Structure 1
Amino acid sequence: MSNTILLITNQLRRLLPALLLLCLLIPAQAQDLKKIDYKQISIDSLHRRALVQQHQNKGKEAFESLEHAAMASEKQEDLRELIDTYHLFARFHLENGDLDSADFYIQSARIRLGTQDYRYGSAYQAFLSARRSLYQKNYYQAAEFLEKVKGMSNERNLLNHITLANAEVLYHRMKYDEAETQLNALLINSDPIERTYLATKANLWLARLMVDKGKIPESIEAGQNALQIAKSKGYPMEEIQAYEILKNSYSLAGSYKSALSNSQALLDLTQSKENAEKEKQAAIKSAERITLQDQAKEMRFLEEENAKLNQSASRSEITAILTSAFLTIISLLAVSLYRNNQIKLKTNDLLHTKNKELETARDSAISAMKAKANFLSTVTHELRTPLYAVTGLTHLLLEENPSDHQKEHLKSLKFSGDYLLNFINDILQINKIDADKLEPLNIEFKLKKVLTDVIDSLQSSAKDTNTTVSLEYDPNIPLNLLGDPLKLSQIFMNLVGNALKFTRDGKVEVIAQLKKKGKEHVMLYFEVSDSGIGISEEQQQTIFESFEQGSVQINREYGGTGLGLTIVKSLLGLFGSRIELESELGVGSSFYFDLKVNCEENAITEEEASEQAEDEFDFTGLHVLIVEDNKINQVITKKMLTKKEMTCDIANNGNEAIDAAKSKHYDAILMDIHMPGISGDEATRQIRKFNTNVPIIALTAISMDDSVDAFYAAGCNAVVTKPFKPEVSTRKLGKMSSKRKHLKKR
């Protein structure tokens, strides 16, 4: 390490005259930087801002944001943030084609990584090395670096960039099918930082790849997708690339009018190109200034390290003399210690044997836990299939105008089926949480609609207990938020359902309030209160534990699994939040929590915009393919759709589904995932190779090993879990098919 430090120090000394000149030229900039309180500034926000500025070709501003981030890291003495900042400097320099400056920042970060156990930083080093090799067209070397970085970090943004780099390597090595798989995964990425930028880059590479594969229509589609995102998000360089690709693709397709149109668009962007070049020159000047400043800092840092090494060397002689003296003393002590060690060895042998026994017992316990988890997963999955027949047939019978005494029995059967389904869902949810299988999503959603849907779905239960459910919603909450609406629905479904279960002739209130609003996130306060039976102080201590309902009497009177609040507590833990409780016997209970949710910087509120009215769907004439291996489920699903005046075809397995999709036009496909032979997700991937437009809805009794993200990655547009309520599946069908027709606004 000392040789490396001396080498870099000597190189930096040559730059000292330029550094002194720079300090004379930019005193104003230094004064501006002193005005900022770097101990309070958010380094992560500066990193995100720099990324947006870099994508929008505002290179000068991007480098200045990173300069602030570097100074804030030093003031806050956060070495890891400084390493991350240097890595972003290196990445931006690589994107601008400046290898020397990139190497400087990579080396500076590497020196500091030597004193840190920072896996993400080490992973980013390997990624930058791969990017550098890609720039130099050393594709096999880039592949080696990317292979090295696998498993070093699970940070989603870095993994997405690794996927993009890997796709580029595969493309240049003409492994087009593998590259296409990687790029398709990026099209639907849920990256928390660069989601749209990654999708734009993936579309651009897909467009190039499709040209090389001779699939010109697919190339045009990918190019149009890239152009649309680039224009809407303000990515000028990607917009120019998209026009170039579309011009060539339309020419190859013989659509010369469209090719001319895109050529004209490129000409119209001449001014934009000049502005982009000016931006680039400004960025280069800013980058040179910042790099020279950082090189001066690095020289001082390395000289200090070198001085420490020299001081250490001067002390080494004294250390050698003292060491000799100590060795003499230690030799005398060794004799006496030898006998003690013999006794310790015997004791260690005994401890080793006991440890082996404990390890065996631990492994047995882990195996038993895994066996239990797999057993519960298999049982719940197998129960869902026959339960679909029970709930589906009950629904159909209720719609066929049964007599009053039959209707009473059918409603009891429906209640029992719903109860059993909720019980299965609770067990499966707890099983997933115990197995650490849950990860929060980060997608756009409307909070008010999530809460309203939960309340509407539970109105029937409220009517049975003569209880009113109300929503108090703060209109200052942004209209569109980023998060996991599915898990949020599960939280409120359990809380509101629990409140209704223990309340008779009373009221349940759901409160959503805005506590604090930042540029990129909001802090929300939620509360679910009821006027029910209440919970004693003793019972409050264990109420959030699995299978706890306060007492055996409560379980017998009100029913339930005792898992609802456990699920709420675990799901909130995924978001870094905690459920709180206030309750009094005979008066009621209040469950409340704070939740930090991401949002767009300029998100509008309920007061600024009203939500669109829900859509009504006309299903008449829709032709649907049902892919299902269970005969009873085929009959039930077909009858449900026929009642909505749709026509259906049946495919018994994935291969039949592929053949049917090739030979006929369908408005939608209901795809069962778990089938013998070829699975539903594999069948979806095959269909997407020749048909990218038909809506495909996955039907699955989700198990421990299933991943909803995998279904979307395969090409599914939506996922419905079995057994499903008929209105759920038809609503999904309506939304998918209404993208082209059959949509009527209220």
Structure 2
Amino acid sequence: MLYLFVPINLCYGQKDISSAAKVQSIFDNFTTYRHQNKVDKALETLDQAAEIAENNEDAKLLLDTYHQYARLFLEEENRETTMFYWDRASILLKGLSYSYGQAFHLYMEAAIRFDEGNNFQALKLLEESRKLSNNRNLSNNILLLEAYIFTNITNYEDAIKNLHALIVNSDDKERAYLATKANLQLAKISTDLNDLEEGIIHSKAALELAEKHSFFKQIKMANEMLSIIYEKTASYDESLRYKKALGRIKDSIFNIEKAKLEANTAEDIRFEHQMNEINKLTAKNEELSESKNRSEITAILTSAFLTIISLLAVSLFRNNQIKLKTNDLLYTKNKELELARDSAVSAMQAKTNFLSTVTHELRTPLYAVTGLTHLLLEENPAEHQKDHLRSLKFSGDYLLNFINDILQINKIDAEKLEPLNIEFKLHKVIADVVDSLQQNAHEKNTTLILDYDPQIPQHLLGDPIKISQIFMNLVGNALKFTSKGKVEVIAKLLNKNEDEVKLYFEVKDNGIGISEDQQQNIFDSFEQGSVQINREYGGTGLGLTIVKSLLGLFNSKIHLESELGHGSSFFFEMDLKCDTNAIDQVTFELSAEEFEFKGLHILIVEDNKINQVITKKMLTKKEITCDIANNGNEAIDMAKANDYDAILMDIHMPGISGEEATRQIRRFDQDIPIIALTAISLDDSLESFYEAGCNDVVTKPFKPEVFYQKIGENIFKRRMEGTV
């Protein structure tokens, strides 16, 4: 059953202060009755509000009241009456300029679609509703309905994130009610994931809140949940205790009589509203009849008028029959289109999930390939073996780049990318890209130059990761098609206005160039100009597509000038904000060679046995000792019982995820460095890792030098900064 929770937002046209106070009191009572599942009393209060709205001709208040009727009947699974009030609200809304009413209408439509099983339609409607109103209570309840939908589509991580936010909500109307519902849903998810201990904790929290505030339905649901969980844990005495409590609730005379009273009250109210419409029409007819008797002339004119009206009525009746048939046909076609749209959305979601799963699963064996290759190269292999190992390492790196490109395009297609807005140093970002590609340039006998304008402010606000990806793809692309030549990276300041700057970037080369025909589709996915180019130079043809999409996040466009045989120039402009209050800080720059790793003791949290062996061997190379936890629960217990210099936390594990394990560790240890090791998938977000309490992130399969550098930075830099 679907439960909706948004209380009325009192934005109606107030006739006087006393009337406004009375309506406020009515809706306060309504909220209390609904929370306590006193549906008959809740309906009576809504009837009072509807009467005030009609007497005052207050369309906004009447719209809000109809919404509450529709929501209440949807909660009681009375779909026919829900649609009766829903239709009346839809008609009223057409003549109103009322943003909250429109937002709530979209929220209700999302609830109805969710009740029908159309999860993705419901999510889209909720997003539209969120844009129209920033009402805190509406936002909280959008989070709750989203959590129900995420649970339905087994997106447990997003569901849990929403529900944890609701447990600590500061809603002035429904704080306890929202927390109760959130705890119940978390208990359900924990049970589905077989984390029964967590399910008991959330069920008891829900039961305590429900009993304290007399939330009748939630008391019953919490008892039912506890009886089920305790039965699964073989705690039969506890299970029986909650089953007895549940039996007392179900068999209570109050419960039976209440159900009868609610049904009668609901029917009475709907019948009364329908009769009111009929009485209004009857009164109008009587008024017309009285006016007809005033004079014979009026009678004659009225008779003629009625004759004309009758003829028109016949015509209208026929037209109405045609219209009804047309509406039926349109309704059928619309349903077919909705089904087709749902199928298309489901297919796109399936394709996205498939690609995400494939790229994620490929990373696990690739981690073994690259890790073992590195270890073998470190163990002084024979000279005839080194060439084979280097070839294996090159193939692994190539495959990793291909997987990264596929994942990046998949995220762009699924609209999963959002730019950050953090302070960073642009010169360091671009210089790091240039330095990392100098070896590639050397192999191609090509000069790689950075021309950086010193007038560009040092401290800018933006997304250094995505900017780095843009230049990595552009410079890598230029080097691929340039041999014994020059590649130049240019960054210039165009203008500066207070706290904003406009920058010009260009990557140009004197390589093979691109013909005019090929320039038309060079930015399309999997395009490299021709089959011959693809076979000669390799690659996926996704680099420039990624650049174009990433620049779109910054409202910027990539431009190209090229001549076949004379090189190419890719250039774009970008607007960024600068941090005028930032000051240069003393940095602690140490290389991996300068870190004294010997004697460190680290906890590895990893469920894959091969990955455990490889990670342990890489640490042993640096004389680092380690313990291994096979899952999140073991990690929490071992972190409590032992002192570690750092924790290497895998994110994707059965049971509780690495994020959740990190949250729980942070409850008793705020200082230990936790580094997330993850084969990032489509739904992963670096921001969520940091919010959970991770200090840093290393993506698998990782380069050994990056792995050691991250460990050293997070252990020794923190110590140095603490000393300073």
The alignment's TM-score, normalised by the length of structure 1, stands at 0.57
CA RMSD of aligned residues (A): 4.1
In structure 2, the partner of 1:166 is 169
**Is residue 724 of structure 2 the alignment partner of residue 724 of structure 1?**
no
**Is residue 386 of structure 2 the alignment partner of residue 411 of structure 1?**
no
- Among 478, 485, 501, which residue is 2:480 paired with? 501
Q: 2: distance between equivalents of 1:114 and 1:708? A: 34
**Is residue 430 of structure 2 the alignment partner of residue 420 of structure 1?**
no
Give deviations 1:375-406, integer Å, cap 9, x for gaps.
11111111100100000111111222223321
- In the TM superposition, what are the counterparts of 1:116-135 in structure 2 within 5 Å? 123-124=133-134, 126-127=135-136
Q: Does the CA contact (< 8 Å) of 2:673 and 2:694 recur in 1?
A: yes
- Among 652, 655, 673, which residue is 1:695 paired with? 673
In structure 1, the partner of 2:435 is 456
Cα 1:639–1:177 change in 2 (3 A) is: farther
Cα 1:685–1:337 change in 2 (3 A) is: same
**Is residue 628 of structure 2 the alignment partner of residue 650 of structure 1?**
yes
In structure 1, the partner of 2:532 is 553
Equivalent position amino acid for 1:624 in 2: I
Q: 1: distance between equivalents of 2:11 and 2:379? A: 86
Q: 2: distance between equivalents of 1:744 and 1:2? A: 53
**Is residue 589 of structure 2 the alignment partner of residue 614 of structure 1?**
yes
- Among 437, 456, 462, which residue is 1:477 paired with? 456
Q: 2: distance between equivalents of 1:172 and 1:365? A: 38
Q: Does the CA contact (< 8 Å) of 2:144 and 2:166 recur in 1?
A: no
**Is residue 347 of structure 2 the alignment partner of residue 372 of structure 1?**
no
In structure 2, the partner of 1:666 is 644
In structure 1, the partner of 2:607 is 629
- Among 397, 414, 417, which residue is 1:438 paired with? 417
**Is residue 712 of structure 2 the alignment partner of residue 734 of structure 1?**
yes
Deviation at 1:329, TM superposition (A): 7.4
SS at match of 2:689: helix
Equivalent position amino acid for 2:713 in 1: K
SS at match of 1:488: helix
Q: 1: distance between equivalents of 2:395 and 2:139? A: 57
Deviation at 1:499, TM superposition (A): 0.9
Deviation at 1:504, TM superposition (A): 0.8
SS at match of 1:578: coil
Give deviations 1:37-67, integer Å, cap 9, x for gaps.
xxxxxxxxxxxxxxxxxxxxxxxxxxxxxxx
- In the TM superposition, what are the counterparts of 1:16-95 in structure 2 within 5 Å? none
Q: 1: distance between equivalents of 2:675 and 2:554? A: 28
- In the TM superposition, what are the counterparts of 1:32-431 in structure 2 within 5 Å? 123-124=133-134, 126-127=135-136, 147=141, 166-167=169-170, 333-340=312-319, 342-343=321-322, 346=325, 349-350=328-329, 352-431=331-410
Which has the larger displacement, 400-409 or 726-735?
400-409
Cα 1:177–1:643 change in 2 (3 A) is: farther
Q: Does the CA contact (< 8 Å) of 1:624 and 1:648 recur in 2?
A: yes
Equivalent position amino acid for 2:486 in 1: K
In structure 2, the partner of 1:521 is 500
Give deviations 1:464-520, integer Å, cap 9, x for gaps.
211121111111212122211111111111111111111111111111112222333
Deviation at 1:651, TM superposition (A): 1.7
Give deviations 1:507-549, integer Å, cap 9, x for gaps.
1111111222233322221111111111111111111111111
| Structure 1 unmatched runs, 5+ | 9-109, 131-143, 153-158, 180-323
Cα 1:365–1:327 change in 2 (3 A) is: farther
Cα 1:550–1:2 change in 2 (3 A) is: closer
SS at match of 1:621: coil
In structure 1, the partner of 2:39 is none
Count of aligned pairs: 478
Which has the larger displacement, 354-363 or 436-445?
354-363
Cα 1:337–1:726 change in 2 (3 A) is: same
Q: Which has the higher contact order (CA 8 A, sep 6+)?
A: 1
Q: Does the CA contact (< 8 Å) of 1:533 and 1:588 recur in 2?
A: yes
In structure 2, the partner of 1:71 is none
- Percent same amino acid among aligned pairs? 69
**Is residue 548 of structure 2 the alignment partner of residue 569 of structure 1?**
yes
SS at match of 2:683: coil
Cα 1:621–1:361 change in 2 (3 A) is: same
Give deviations 1:384-438, integer Å, cap 9, x for gaps.
0010000011111122222332111111111100110011111111111111111
Cα 1:338–1:487 change in 2 (3 A) is: same
SS at match of 1:738: helix
In structure 2, the partner of 1:83 is none
Deviation at 1:630, TM superposition (A): 1.5
Cα 1:464–1:701 change in 2 (3 A) is: same
Deviation at 1:568, TM superposition (A): 1.0
**Is residue 471 of structure 2 the alignment partner of residue 468 of structure 1?**
no
Give deviations 1:618-674, integer Å, cap 9, x for gaps.
323222111112122112112212222322222222222222212221111100111
In structure 2, the partner of 1:708 is 686
In structure 2, the partner of 1:75 is none
Q: 2: distance between equivalents of 1:367 and 1:172? A: 35
Equivalent position amino acid for 2:684 in 1: D
Cα 1:424–1:115 change in 2 (3 A) is: closer
| Structure 2 unmatched runs, 5+ | 1-9, 18-95, 104-127, 147-161, 183-302
Deviation at 1:603, TM superposition (A): 4.7
SS at match of 2:626: strand
Cα 1:506–1:5 change in 2 (3 A) is: same
- Among 565, 570, 586, which residue is 1:586 paired with? 565
Q: 2: distance between equivalents of 1:399 and 1:498? A: 31
In structure 2, the partner of 1:74 is none
Deviation at 1:579, TM superposition (A): 1.1
